[in-house]
Amino acid sequence: MEQTKEKIHISLIVPCFNEEANIQKGVLDKIGNYTKDQLFKEVLIVDDGSTDSSKEIIRSKYIKLFPKFKLLENNHLGKAFAILRGINEAKSEFVMFMDIDLATPIDEAEKLITEVQNGYKIVIGSRNSNREGAPFTRKLMALGMIFIRNYFIGLHGIRDTQCGFKLFENQAAREIVKHLQVFKNKHKVEGSSVSAGFDLEFLFLAQKMGYTIKEVPVIWRHVETKNVTFIKSSLEGLQDILLIKWYDLTKKYPH
């Protein structure tokens, strides 16, 4: 693996919204130590308008501790626009994004990296369908999302669209995001917004544009988070699915 790692370069995107508790648990230390490998050229921590001490801790400690770390600051626009900011500013040929809580351990990246080295341009992590450790409401939300997604927009052959652990060729990602409609225009949001629809719209477009999406099983452990709420996140996801269907019917997407 060491010989092939030098063949690609990766910019890692880490969205951040009020993550002081996770940062104090040492998640950025784990990310920083893992990305010392020369394969990773930069780690873009995109803050989504945090109101706690996240930015101050990152700026005062982690930017100095890990030279590859860069802090990008957004207004509070939601996770989707944090990822889009990272894609637009990434300098490597591949971009990867992951959740800061390390629900999927960062060393699982090896599985995704292997697949892009095999020629895939879009590789996504896939969680076990049992979602061990997750509360009943999270499991119910996941099942409901899959049913509604399959009925309205398909995404055939993909089991898990929402795992926050994905790796793309940068050029492909930028070409796909040019055609986003649901997440085309920035708008401020209230409270946490995990933007489940972003993954759906991105992957829906990728399939329509002819990209083969490789899904790879990864370890996932439930981490309790304030950023995913059953009712609000479910309604956001449903609204985004309906919008994707509408934009498809009105031929706003490439055909």
Region label for 191, one of left (φ > 0), alpha (ψ between -120 and 50) or beta (otherwise): left
Alpha helices in 153-223 (DSSP H): 170-177, 196-208
- Whether residue 215 is contained in a domain is answered as yes
Range of the structural domain that residue 143 is part of: 2-249
| Residuewise pLDDT in 10s, the chain (255 residues) | 343 444 799 999 999 999 999 999 999 999 999 999 989 999 999 999 999 999 999 999 999 999 999 999 999 999 999 999 999 999 999 999 999 999 999 999 999 999 999 999 999 999 865 545 555 555 555 565 666 766 677 787 888 888 999 999 999 999 999 999 999 987 667 666 666 789 999 999 999 999 999 999 999 886 765 555 656 667 777 888 899 999 999 999 997
d(CA 141, CA 165): 19
For residue 86, the Cα-to-chain-centroid distance in whole angstroms is 10
d(CA 213, CA 168): 10
Write out the two tokens for 225: 């988070």
Cβ neighbours of 50 (radius 10 Å): 19
- Whether residue 254 is contained in a domain is answered as no
Number of helices followed by number of strands (H, E) in the chain? 11, 7
d(CA 197, CA 155): 13
- Whether residue 255 is contained in a domain is answered as no
- Whether residue 116 is contained in a domain is answered as yes
Q: What is the CATH number of the domain that holds 9?
A: 3.90.550.10
Name the domain count of the chain.
Answer: 1
